[in-house]
Amino acid sequence: MISEEVKKMLLQDEDGNIFVSSEDVANLNVNNNLNHALLVLSKVGYTSIPVLDNDSRIRGLISMPMIINAIMGLDAIKFDELETMRVEDVMDKNVPIIDATCDLEDILHHVIDHSYLCLVDNEGYFKGIVTRKEILSRVNHLVHELHNHYRLVENLPSKIN
């Protein structure tokens, strides 16, 4: 459990929302070919980006290593397959998803293993992401400001009667 005081300080919204809106997140469609995916990924400069279906539901994540691995032959990279293979064929379907009911504990736990978490509404539509960068920025604020707001008094071990 995270104490209310710590939660309050981590969720303080001085510089905007903890989530980046889906409108500001680059994404790919399940039907895009890998050549297009490679171009988009190289342009945005992120490790991986969300993959959506035609209804804007989240279906997976795709990264450059996934693409290069998919076209790797025994002794050479088969670049001609970039045109024929689709994003859906190589994406990772194991997406770290959170929804509006998700609390800070879950977010902090999941960002240990993922660069970002995908926020969906209750019908599975992609609404945005929360990034490690944003979490770390808030943690930085917390650890610097905590002692300005609170005095830490050590808990004494309970007496055994």
Contacts to a copy of itself by CB under 8 A: 1-3, 5-6, 10, 35, 38-39, 41-42, 44-45, 47, 63-65, 68-69, 72, 77, 79, 105, 108-109, 111-113, 115, 132-133, 135-137, 139-140, 142-144, 146-155
Distance (Å) of CA 108 to CA 56, 112, 155, 160? 26, 7, 25, 35
Q: Of the two residues 74 and 123, which places its CB atom closer to a copy of itself in the complex?
A: 74
Minimum Å gap between C-beta 123 and a copy of itself is 30
Work out how close the CB of 114 gets to a copy of itself at its nearest, in angstroms, rounded to a whole number.
9
CB of 65 to a copy of itself, least distance (A): 5
| E strand segments, 4-125 | 20-21, 28-29, 48-52, 58-63, 97-99, 116-120
d(CA 57, CA 97): 12
**Three-state secondary-structure class, residue 137:** helix
